[in-house]
Amino acid sequence: MSGAKLIGVGVGPGDPELVTLKAMRVLKETDVVAHFAKAGHPSNARSIVACHLKPGIIELALRFPVTSELPRTSPLYCSKIGAFYDDAAAKIAANLDACRSVAVLCEGDPLFYGSYMHLQVRLAQRYPTEVIAGVTGMSGSWSASGIPIAQGNDVFTVLPATLPECELERRLADADAAVVMKLGRNLAKVRRALEQSGRLEQAIYVERGTTPDALMLPLAARLDDEAPYFALVLVPGWGTRP
């Protein structure tokens, strides 16, 4: 056993080669790996590093009781998800109290829109904690599509697609470069906001950007508005490009 320590480990956007040397070392050293997923589904973060997990390592599967079925602001969602994070933190704390190190696997970067943050705020005051930065999904996506996203004096903005349409429109018009995340059922709204802000022609739709079955195309060329939750839209900046 390597001692009580909570470690948020960014495992990158999906390509198993976009894992850092530091994440690899932690996977070799840690006693327990914890991973989030939707109930009934495998963990994406776990599958990225599956081939690097030590045989016999203790695994702690943290399964969301609810994801996008309920609105995020509904009292039922808040009470269910709050209880889930409390319970997950308690399970991790039990391992830390037994002097085991616990690595929480995180897609992308742990402290950038990641579920891990809910464990960090519950546990970091009581236990030694380390966070290992990872390559974000958006970096993986613009790199795979070869699109320079922002340069020089560009203002770059990340917008959750869950924002109201008028907010999306206003902010898209006001940013040099933007990424719209969490598309899912919001793609039709995002398309309208891009059109109204005059950015639709530049927008690139990316799904599973760094995996072999990646899909990338101009959003204007997409005929329907079906999208998975983790798909995103890139709106490149660098208007002064030579």
Q: Toward its own copies, which CB reaches closer, 15 or 31?
A: 15
Cβ neighbours, 10 Å, residue 124: 15
Query: Whole-angstrom Cα distance, residue 149 to residue 53?
Result: 34
Interhelix angle 165-174/187-196, rounded to 10 degrees, is 50
Q: Toward its own copies, which CB reaches closer, 105 or 140?
A: 140
* Per-residue contact string for residues 25-54; x = within reach of its own copies by CB under 8 A: x-----------------------------
Q: Toward its own copies, which CB reaches closer, 60 or 111?
A: 111
* Binding-site member from 43, 44, 101, 120 for its own copies (CB under 8 A): 120
What residues from 178 to 237 belong to the interface with its own copies (CB under 8 A)?
A: 210
> Is the Cβ–Cβ distance between 126 and 49 less than 8 Å?
no
Query: Whole-angstrom Cα distance, residue 117 to residue 121?
Result: 6
Residue 5 belongs to what H/E stretch?
strand 5-10
* Binding-site member from 92, 123, 150, 227 for its own copies (CB under 8 A): 150
Distances (CA, A) of 207 to 74, 188, 196, 201, 218: 28, 16, 23, 18, 12
Applying CB under 8 A, the site for its own copies has a residue count of 63
Residue in this structure with the two tokens 């039709």, named with its chain if needed? 188
Greatest pairwise CA separation for the chain in angstroms: 59
Query: Whole-angstrom Cα distance, residue 193 to residue 196?
Result: 5
Residue 173 belongs to what H/E stretch?
helix 165-174
Q: Toward its own copies, which CB reaches closer, 139 or 202?
A: 139
Q: Which stretch binds its own copies (CB under 8 A): 37-45, 61-69, 169-177, 186-194?
A: 169-177
* Binding-site member from 129, 173, 185, 220 for its own copies (CB under 8 A): 129
- Give the interface with its own copies as residue ranges (CB under 8 A): 8, 10, 12-13, 15-22, 24-25, 72, 82, 85, 109-113, 117-118, 120-121, 124, 129, 131-136, 139-140, 142-144, 146-160, 162-163, 171, 174-175, 210, 238, 241-242
